[in-house]
Amino acid sequence: MALRSLRPSWVALGLLALVTLLLAGCSGAAMTPSSWPGVSADSTTAYVASNQAVYAVDLATGAERWRFPAQPDRAVVLFATPTSTDDGLVILGDFNRVVYALKASDGSVVWRFDKAKDRYIGGAAMAGDLVLVPCADHTLYALQRASGALVWSFKTKAPLWAAPLVDGEVIYLPAQDHNLYALEARTGKLIWSQDLGGALSDTPVIAGGRLLAGTFGQGLAAVDIRAGKPVFTVPTDGWVWGSPVTDEAAAYFGDLAGTARAVSLKDGSTLWTYQPGASVVASPALGDGVVYFASSGGLVQARATSDGASKWQVTLAGPTNTDPLLTGDVLLVGVSASPDVLLAALDPATGATRWTFAPAK
């Protein structure tokens, strides 16, 4: 009876209010740029970019050295992997179309580049005195390391989400338009391109004269580095997001269907596999006879490279889609969506936590 006594116009207004609230909620989610932390390190400092800041963290203690920007700034959204240079810069792009070069010592801005038309998701790469920055506006920007001035640019047909691989005078650029491009480093001139049948979202690696690149839908592709022709592919059940790591005999990688595997570098045949229980987005890290996999479920596992036998495993407080990084005597793992941990430093031998870092409010 109470429901029947409602005036239809009030019911309509209530529904409208509900629509507004839900649409506003959805729009908030849509506007919030979302990725996982970008992590890198030099000999003394780890750099972790996550949402509204990049943090410089003491590798020995996990203490924060500086952050950029020093005060929260809604105009800055950082997720790209920071790139530290040998002349004391930390370079990274943000979701709001700006590339920053910061002083590694204190985080102050040396230069900025703001000519792009879309966000930066992938990290930068260095090629001599050039900084190469992939952008979601389909363009690879080559900037002067000293000033950030544009030297050349190379346009593809889809967003670029991963840093290029620099090998001497040649750049290998993975693109979401399914192509792997080889470019002249000095000029950006195309040498060859190869369609691999699926989007490429991570930096390829070189092993035995071949480029290895993960694809969305076509597994792992091995491409001849000179001719750019496919040599073999390793089919997978899920998309291969992160690139493999390699030793003399094998390549190690995971896929989004939740399989981690080792394959022969010779012909791509499977050596061993295991299921970590969740999607594997990140590239693994390689130690001495040990490969470290991180998965979306927050599980970090150390496996023997020889047979995949488990050495140790730990579960962190949130998804671990960031590439784990073995540096010095710690394994750095970026953690998403956790208020307590943004970066964890683990003992590579045991998985014990050395320290964790979460930015102070």
Q: Does 20 bind another protein (CB under 8 A)?
A: yes
**In the structure encoding, which two tokens stand for residue 160, read together?**
């670029």
The one segment of 14-22, 142-150, 269-277, 287-295 that binds another protein by CB under 8 A: 14-22
Q: How far apart are CA 104 and CA 90, in angstroms?
A: 6
Rank residues 28 and 168 by Cβ distance to another protein and give the closer one.
28
Cβ neighbours around 312 below 10 Å, total: 17
Rank residues 36 and 55 by Cβ distance to another protein and give the closer one.
36
For the CB of residue 238, give the shortest distance to another protein in the complex, in Å: 7
Hey, what's the torsion of the CAs at 233, 236, 239, 243, to 10 degrees? -50
For the CB of residue 183, give the shortest distance to another protein in the complex, in Å: 21
**In the structure encoding, which two tokens stand for residue 266, read together?**
């010779």
Residues 63-102, mask of contacts with another protein (x by CB under 8 A) = ----------------x-----------------------
Size of the site for another protein (CB under 8 A): 51
Q: How far apart are CA 29 and CA 85, in angstroms?
A: 35
Q: Does 8 bind another protein (CB under 8 A)?
A: yes
DSSP assignment of 114-172 equals: ---SS---SPPEEETTEEEEE-TTSEEEEEETTT--EEEEEE-SS---SPPEEETTEEE
SS3 173: strand
Rank residues 12 and 146 by Cβ distance to another protein and give the closer one.
12
Cβ neighbours around 66 below 10 Å, total: 18
Q: Does 19 bind another protein (CB under 8 A)?
A: yes
**In the structure encoding, which two tokens stand for residue 85, read together?**
């240079």
Q: Does 33 bind another protein (CB under 8 A)?
A: yes
For the CB of residue 37, give the shortest distance to another protein in the complex, in Å: 11
For the CB of residue 221, give the shortest distance to another protein in the complex, in Å: 13
**In the structure encoding, which two tokens stand for residue 268, read together?**
């791509």
For the CB of residue 187, give the shortest distance to another protein in the complex, in Å: 27
Residues 195-214, mask of contacts with another protein (x by CB under 8 A) = --xxx-x-------------
For the CB of residue 306, give the shortest distance to another protein in the complex, in Å: 31
Whole-Å CA distances, 184 to 6, 91, 187: 72, 22, 6
Binding residues for another protein restricted to 252-281, rule: CB under 8 A = 256, 279, 281
Binding residues for another protein restricted to 322-361, rule: CB under 8 A = none
The one segment of 27-35, 108-116, 143-151, 262-270 that binds another protein by CB under 8 A: 27-35
Amino acid at the residue 325: L
Q: Does 22 bind another protein (CB under 8 A)?
A: yes
The pair phi, psi for residue 128, each rounded to 5°, is 65, -125
Q: How far apart are CA 328 and CA 346, in angstroms?
A: 11
Query: Cis peptide before 159, with omega less than 30 degrees from 0?
Result: no
Binding residues for another protein restricted to 135-174, rule: CB under 8 A = 136, 158-159, 161
For the CB of residue 158, give the shortest distance to another protein in the complex, in Å: 6
With beta carbons less than 8 A apart as the criterion, state whether 165 and 206 touch. yes
For the CB of residue 210, give the shortest distance to another protein in the complex, in Å: 23
Rank residues 34 and 310 by Cβ distance to another protein and give the closer one.
34
b/e sequence 204-235, b meaning 16+ C-beta within 10 Å: bbebeebbbbbbbebbbbbbebeebebbbbbe
Q: Which residues bind another protein (CB under 8 A)?
A: 3-9, 11-13, 15-16, 18-20, 22-23, 26-27, 29-31, 33-36, 79, 118-119, 121, 136, 158-159, 161, 176, 178, 197-199, 201, 216-218, 238-239, 241, 256, 279, 281, 296, 321
